[in-house]
Amino acid sequence: MSRSRDHRSGGARIERTGLAGGLIAVAGGALMVIGAFLSWLTTATETGGSTSISGFGAISGDNSVAGSNLNDFLATGGLGTYRPGLIGLTFGLVAVLSGAVVAAARPRGQRPFRIAACLILLAGVAGAGWGVLRGVAPGTGGVFSDGSGSAGVGPWVTATGGLLLLLVALWLFAGWADRAVGAPVQRHRGIQPG
């Protein structure tokens, strides 16, 4: 809706409510948090099964090291860590908090959700960008040869959450959180409505 007064209703005031956008932002952030703990890298095993590695290195599937963490192996070899879900977790939590503020707040003034919208936009860009990047190029996890691993579901869940956040940020920046509320009818002395 427009920020200007609605002349047809005699100058309706604008009330800002971000409940719908805030709840969608919370859902998008929650998707990013959930995606952080899902499978980010999968590979087929010699026995015909598959092995998955979560966004924080937890190994599961048909493998003798299932139940352990890849980061333990990488630390002993001095190869660093494998935590691609950390970006989704961090920005997902920022989005959840920002979305909760947008859903709960009823501010007045021009562009009242701009700070929260900037945080939601930042989280959306991080989630969508990182998710798509790791979905297309999942990497080796420090243990697989190039091309032997494929992306799990985690990057795509993170990217989906990020896209939801981008839509909410657009909605907030465009001012669609504004709602026209009809102005009370003003009566002047001696003039009766006809």
Hunting for tokens 């839509």 — which residue is that?
Answer: 167
- 131-140 in b/e form (b: 16+ CB < 10 A) is bbebbeebee
| CATH architecture classification, 19-181 | Up-down Bundle (1.20)
pTM given for the model: 0.77
Cβ–Cβ < 8 Å for 113, 183: no
Rounded CA separation 110/108 (Å): 7
pLDDT in tens, 96-127: 999 999 888 776 666 678 889 999 999 999 99
Rounded CA separation 60/99 (Å): 33
pLDDT in tens, 73-92: 777 665 677 888 999 999 99
Q: Where are the domains of the chain?
A: 19-181
